[in-house]
Structure 1
Amino acid sequence: MTENPLKAKDEQPFVIDPIADTGAAKWSYFSLTFSLFYFFHIIAKYEQYTNTQLISVFVIYICFIALFFQAIRSTGKAVLKPIIAIVILSAVGAAINPGTNALFGYAAFFSGYYFLRKYAVLLLILNLAAQISSALILDLLSPYYLGPSLACSFSLFVYGIFSQKEYIHSCLQQKKNQQIEQLAAIAERERIARDMHDLLGHSLSSLALKSELAEKLANKQHFEAAKKEISEVASLARQTLSEVRLAVTGLKLQGLSGSLQKLTNELKNMKFDTQCYIDALNLPPMVESTLIILSKEWITNILRHSNGNSVSIAITTDANNVTLSIGDNGKTAKIKPGNGIEGMRSRVAELSGSLDINDDDGVKLTVVIPLLATVRSNVKNKAIVSV
């Protein structure tokens, strides 16, 4: 069974911190506009209110705002206090302004959003009991008071429950993504270990055989043949060292900066005048790995096919996007996308990005990938103890 991210090892109930989720926080602040219904009764019957009552009305509303912000910033048992306080404030405030029935719904939403179902239902019952009690005591048994109050409370309670489910799904999805990234890292390490084993096993065996052959030839005074074998031993040793370095580089230079540095060095070794600029820190792992793969693919194409002598590489970010630009001054016929380019387009499309190839003046690759808030955010699991 899938583990509930809102469950601790001791199976105690949790609440969620709405501020930890960007979407929930935006909804929370926007929802305050609905609290303005609190003032409708005052506007409709302004002449019936004394100055003292008007001051009390505004004091009650200010208290509600304070409790609202306390609720969306609280965790643990502390969240229970502002919820109950909103219910009491709404019930008592009805003695001055019946418009306080608009505030019960906020307590209902927080109950549904923060708590496990059985605790949420208990809080809703308490909320409804307070509404009915205030109506009985204050002689407000009217559809105009209880009707909107009860309807709003029920609907916002249900909305709070669905918002909690959405948050749980987001937590689970992020956890799965992290597990996939960890598995990918483990698979890469295993690949490097396997390559190292196969590479060194074959190469060292060859070195041993050639060294023994050179020794035997020298003993028989076949010095020219022995010299040739020794030369091949030296060449094979250098080749093996180079291949080992390449394998180790895949482990040592993890990350975008290290990968691009390696690619830049390869271009310079092939006599390309290369400029590299990186202004991109803390990218989401999926975005960073995609940029590394795209850079390797495109620069490999340049090394194989470009007849130019200059390459520029740039990775920049703004508030919404990360942009990869790789250009060279080689001349080419009209580029026809093959499997390599189509594979690059597919990777970019998976991240809702765009890929453009311009060959009007040299060849330039431009990739733009949006940095979605759901990808960049690090969702925090804040737990509470049971109540």
Structure 2
Amino acid sequence: MNYEETRGLVRGLNDRYPDIGLIVVREQRTDLEDWVDDLPLHAVLSPHAADGTTQELLDRLSNWLISNGRADAEDFEVEPEPEVDDVISGLINTEPISDSESVEDSERTSEESVEEAPEEIEWEFPPLEEGVPSEAIAVVAPKGGQGKTTIAVNLATGLAEVAPNSVVLIDADLQFGDITAVLNLRPERTIVDAVADAAQDELVLKTALVHHPDGFFVVASAVSPELGDQVQASSLAQLIERLREFFRYVVVDTTPGLSEHTLVAIEHVTDAVFVSNMSVASLRAMRTEFQLLTTLGLMPSNRHIVLNQVDKMSGLTVKDAEAVIGAPIDVAVPKSSAVLLASNRGIPLIHDDVRDPAARAVRSVVMRIAPEAFPKRTKIQRRRRSHGTE
């Protein structure tokens, strides 16, 4: 994180947990003194610190916090760190220990919480409102690297605000689908299980879905291309139609290009979102896709064209892109580092940084599908999520 992000996080943590100990892991850069002087940090740790050095610092800070309670961070003295070559990776998540607790009590409580089996949450397919049709949306791109998955993930997230727990996102990129990585999910089953004969049973089908905290379900892609090859195009079509029986919205993230599976997905949806970046090669490929779909009679009546990663320095304008495609652009999403940051954090962009121009543009894609999607709702959800994950 940069300085501003770190300052905001530090202030939030100190306000909520006054007794918390804070260590920043950062390289020895020229601006490090500014960080230490301006932020109430207890210590600075090198990202190359050895396990022993890190553990020693955590132990000393823990003992000091128990002894000193709310004492200022600047009173905690740290000896110079030895030069080491080992690299630490991972996230250390600690709860503040109050003065009344002993270290032994804290450790015992931690052990008990680990041994406690998580409560299994029972859920049912939400009944569709009478007279409200189920809609299916395919997200399509002529090539890889266009931002198709980002659009699909945020589309499902936004639609879940309108229809909580009545949205399912299918990762139908059977070769290299990575929606679960983008959302930081660890499913036990995949699309291979969802299309199996046994999944015709509603209870079995439910086990192939994983729930996301933002109120939608995910069908994970196959864990390898070899397993993905087991999923027939006809099986994908049946899965889409099957899920439309239970969900208000079915979002399908397709394989790049117009493979057999992508064509079948387009054939079984009500809307298609076509995504391309600013490169001439991708724009021309999209034009070819449109020509082929028109020839085959598969062009969806509800078509939405998204121009992604729009950058003034690319040498092209939106009008240039429209001329190459031969169709008007519906949504232009500006290039933004917030997209990568959100992906690395495992949080949908529209809930990670609601003010970012790219997030606002992506939200307009949601509103094309569901005009009732109200932008202010994301601020409420973001506040709820941040409180729930600290």
Give the structure-1-normalised TM-score. Answer: 0.24
Structure number with higher helix proportion: 1
Give the structure-2-normalised TM-score. Answer: 0.23
